[in-house]
Structure 1
């Protein structure tokens, strides 16, 4: 009886370990931001989390991890889950690159868009080719003049139905579409940032949804 109980307990433990939920939230050189059973962990290649998940490799397109003795390849190709929650508020943590910049992946119109956090930008700012790829409708959009590092230029004011970053999803977000190729990467400006709580801690930028 005792032996059978030990076997059953062993199977239960193995089942629980196999059910561990691991999702890839960000890639930063040889490091990756993982969500493990709802907890955020930033690991460098070769490091293991307190939950026992080991990051084997991080590239620009995927991460390889070892979970419960099995290797898994994780990518950012699927929308991030709304389970990205800590202390009952959705939270995203971004690691600075070597130049001190913060980048993230956002979802607009169901498509993944790399963005660069820019607290000096008034709004989320798209270049024209990216706006076309996302299917943003500029017909009837208000035309405005905006100041850039290259001087004054024209842009169109648009309204995004939703912008999702990690578990943070905001609706009716204002954005601008520039008429040329600037900015080369979409700028995550204050029409989004002003609607979340934001702080820096040990080189990590923390964005947290408000109630």
Structure 2
């Protein structure tokens, strides 16, 4: 039996005057499972969906699709390029967990890291072990003191080249690295959130890229 890979990356595609939401749901053999505006389509390489999406190639690691001559490579290891959608803004939808928190996967230095949305955090906040895993350079970072629930502690302020969540990619994002194991999960703070549009809809948090 061929392995089935589930992916959660989605992106917006502009078709004429109407933007479609396309999501890669899985890869198996030379076929890909796509979801187009809620409709699931299983395509083999070379086939076109009723919505006009052509699957050019599918492997166990990625799928290449084409719409009206424009190509996009959907990988299992990297986020979708927002530049593919020209007429529509990239959008990320986050459902609240059982505690009411919004969790998402972000990409920093080419590595995936879980983050929790925290509108009370000034910047993206990492603990020290996570910063080391991501290869963040603290040698040139500014040493600061921050106030946490555990009291005043040492931290480092630095600038991230880019942070990518779904189809939203921002450059030059401020971050803070704490010198201990706090916070237990990376906090997605306002150095990122203030640069996107946010909206809550029935327990779902929408993040939209700005033009």
TM-score range, shorter chain: 0.5 to 0.7
Q: CA RMSD in A?
A: 2.9
Runs of 4 or more off by more than 2 Å in structure 1? 23-26, 34-38, 48-52, 66-69, 72-77, 83-87
Aligned residue runs from structure 1 range 59-208, under 5 A:
67=42, 77-83=76-82, 85=85, 88-208=88-208
Contact 1:25 1:35 (C-alpha < 8 Å) held by counterparts: no
Query: Could you tell me how far 1:24 is from its partner in structure 2?
Result: 2.8
SS in 1 for 2:119: coil
Contact 2:12 2:89 (C-alpha < 8 Å) held by counterparts: no
Contact 1:173 1:192 (C-alpha < 8 Å) held by counterparts: yes
Query: Could you tell me how far 1:120 is from its partner in structure 2?
Result: 0.6
TM-score (norm 2): 0.67
Residue range with higher mean Cα deviation, 82-91 or 129-138: 82-91
Query: Could you tell me how far 1:87 is from its partner in structure 2?
Result: 5.6
Contact 1:52 1:67 (C-alpha < 8 Å) held by counterparts: no
Contact 2:95 2:205 (C-alpha < 8 Å) held by counterparts: yes
CA change 1:104–1:86 in 2 (3 A) is farther
Contact 1:105 1:165 (C-alpha < 8 Å) held by counterparts: yes
Contact 2:21 2:37 (C-alpha < 8 Å) held by counterparts: no
Normalized per residue, which structure has more helix?
1
Query: Could you tell me how far 1:68 is from its partner in structure 2?
Result: 5.6
Aligned length: 163
Query: Could you tell me how far 1:140 is from its partner in structure 2?
Result: 2.7
Contact 1:24 1:74 (C-alpha < 8 Å) held by counterparts: no
Query: Could you tell me how far 1:77 is from its partner in structure 2?
Result: 4.2
CA change 1:115–1:86 in 2 (3 A) is farther
Which residue of the partner structure matches residue 18 of structure 1?
Answer: none
> Does residue 24 of structure 2 align to residue 25 of structure 1?
no
- The structure having more radius of gyration, on CA atoms, is 1
TM-score (norm 1): 0.67
Which residue of the partner structure matches residue 39 of structure 2?
Answer: 52
SS in 2 for 1:89: coil
- Distance, in Å, in 1 between the alignment partners of 2:37 and 2:172 is 38
- Distance, in Å, in 2 between the alignment partners of 1:207 and 1:188 is 12
